[in-house]
Amino acid sequence: MAGKVWLVGAGPGDVGLMTLKGREVLSRAEVVVYDALVSNSVLGLIPEGTKLIFAGKRSGNHYLKQEETNKVLLEEALNGKRVVRLKGGDPFVFGRGGEELELLVQHGIPFEIVPGVTSAFAVPAYNGIPVTHRDYCSSVHIVTGHRRADHSYDIDFGALARTKGTLVFLMGIAALPDLMGGLLAAGMDPDMPAAVLERGTTARQRRVSATVGTLQGACEKTVVQTPAIIVVGRVCALAETFGWAEKRPLAGVRVLVTRPRERVSTLANMLQDRGAEVLELPAIRTVPVKDMTPVDAAIETLSKGGYHWLAFTSPSGVDIFFDRLIALRDLRALGGARLAAIGQGTQKALLKYGLRADFMPSVYDGETLGRELRSACAPGSRILIPRAAIGDRELIGELEKGNNLAVTDIATYDTEYAASEVIDERGEIERGEIDFAVFTSASTVRGFAAAVSDVDFTRVNAVCIGKQTAAEAQRRGMRTWTAQKATLEALVEAVEEAAEEMRNDE
């Protein structure tokens, strides 16, 4: 049975500009064929285990020819796969989406189009340039600046000049002299405002503002990187007045988030709200231990009143333990046991099951939890700690100092290290594309280090949720900042403080 193909627009770069439908389709893909213009932030959304095929196209360097890409889509669909053709921007705005459909139509392959936010409109908007404004223009025109080899431009510059509208040239940086020359020769006022917008909607976006007559010279004074677009029109003069993206507290900051995949989005959203570009690369995954016999035995003991306290040290520990408990019994098995949570994230995980922690430490780390819970326990209390197999000893060490406390430390989940299949993390760091790596536990530091084992860690700026996490990063030579409290809110504040410090150092 034949599969199906979805042509999905990934948007111009900012992962927040990818449509809800695009994300949903991507989350169920079995094969993803993607372009070079798809941002790493979007690539980070591709599910683990998905077959990845790179069909990159950038400035004349084609990894796969268009005809080969068309055949790949057909072959994967004929194999019964759910195929996503992931394209930067919108697949039907100079994205050659129509060409890719022709072969599918010939073979009766079902397909859908998921439009994307086009860079022609989004990139100017992120630079404070409205492509239409009734006081300045009454039309907007999207023009490709790319031409086939050995072909002249099929552009009526005279018609474009006469429209007096906003002109947006995509893929035109290499042809900037020809494009501006064509407009000038067609009679456009050399003082008409114009701009080159580089790497728009990302942390590295930059604007070169000039006029049609001076834009080429202005660009020659700086190195313009692709992708970039050219905008011509009176609306370009509004950029200084309407510019907004650069005013956000984390504007221009690119952050690597390393939380487990199932918990990464909350932190990523908080950082994005403050203007950061977030690259979600979960460094670890948590999986239940293969042998759940000891866990089942502990649940049986719990149901008989065998424990006075359950102490949880992570949201994953909560989820995996209670999923197992509910599979065997129900929440009544808790009996009269009281609950301790290491911090607010773990408390939130308990709330999902209708439970609230009876105890949280003043400082959200294992040492403080152990010391303060020890004082809160009655002599002879029995404490169950369901947590990671590689849990640190500080918690247990503090509890063992207590008044005849009986501590059962049980492994409920293993921590596995995970490297990205699609993103070159090492290259991102070495090129200076990552401003900060954010770590929410010592295990995420270890997972990150395992994924990029041969990188120079002194080039990594690490923002850490607590002192144990910071110590793990410092052991590898990373420069560290530590949140005042072990909460996501405090962690984001630490990123802002670190970014401000780095700006002041420049």
Q: What is the pLDDT of residues 187-221, one digit of tens each?
A: 999 999 999 999 999 999 999 999 999 999 999 99
pTM (two decimals): 0.84
CB atoms within 10 A of CB 102: 9
Pairwise CA distance, residues 7 & 88, whole Å: 11
Strand partners, 384: 310, 408
User: Residues 6 or more apart from 252 whose CB is under 8 A from it?
Assistant: 203, 204, 246, 275
**Which backbone phi and psi does 206 adopt, to 5 degrees?**
-150, 150
Q: Is 57 a catalytic residue?
A: yes
| Contact in structure between 111 and 227 (CB atoms under 8 Å) | no
The closest alpha carbon to 269, from 179, 259, 359, belongs to 259
pLDDT of residue 156: 92
CA-atom Rg of the chain in angstroms: 27
Give me the domains of the chain, ranges plus CATH numbers.
4-117 (3.40.1010.10), 121-245 (3.30.950.10), 254-283+418-505 (3.40.50.10090), 287-417 (3.40.50.10090)
| Res. 261 pLDDT band, cuts 50 70 90 | low
**In this structure, which amino acid lies at residue 129?**
I
For residues 146 and 227, give the distance between their C-alpha atoms in angstroms, rounded to a whole number: 13
- What is the phi-psi region of residue 475: left when phi exceeds 0, alpha when psi lies from -120 to 50, beta otherwise? alpha
Strands 309-312 and 228-232: unpaired
Q: 423-430: which pairs have CB atoms within 8 A and are 24 or more residues apart?
A: 423/40, 423/43, 423/44, 423/279, 423/281, 425/256, 425/281, 425/451, 425/452, 426/452, 426/454, 426/455, 428/40, 428/256, 428/279, 429/455, 429/456, 429/459, 429/460, 430/455, 430/456, 430/459
Selected catalytic residue, list 4, 14, 35, 392: 35
C-alpha 125/C-alpha 122 separation (Å) is 5
Model confidence at 41: pLDDT above 80: yes
- Is residue 291 part of the annotated active site? The answer reads no
Q: Is 122 left (phi over 0), alpha (psi -120 to 50) or beta?
A: alpha
Specify the pLDDT at position 151. Answer: 58
- 412: its two tokens: 């409920």
DSSP 89: B
The angle at the Cα of 430, spanning 428 to 431, to the nearest 5 degrees, equals 65
430: tokens are 């070495």
- Which is catalytic among the residues 4, 14, 21, 57? 57
Give the confidence band of 322 by pLDDT, cuts at 50, 70, 90.
Answer: very high
Question: According to the model, what pLDDT value does residue 272 have?
Answer: 95
**Which pair of structure tokens corresponds to residue 34?**
């993607």
Q: How far apart are CA 175 and CA 153, in angstroms?
A: 10
| Residues 75-95 pLDDT 10s | 999 999 999 999 999 999 988
- Residue-level pLDDT at 60: 47
Mean pLDDT for 259-277 is: 84
Q: Is the pLDDT of residue 425 over 90?
A: no
Kind of pairing between the strands at 51-54 and 31-34: parallel
- Tokens 């369901």 found at: 386
Nearest-CA neighbor of 15 among 120, 97, 122?
122
Question: What is the pLDDT at residue 262?
Answer: 63
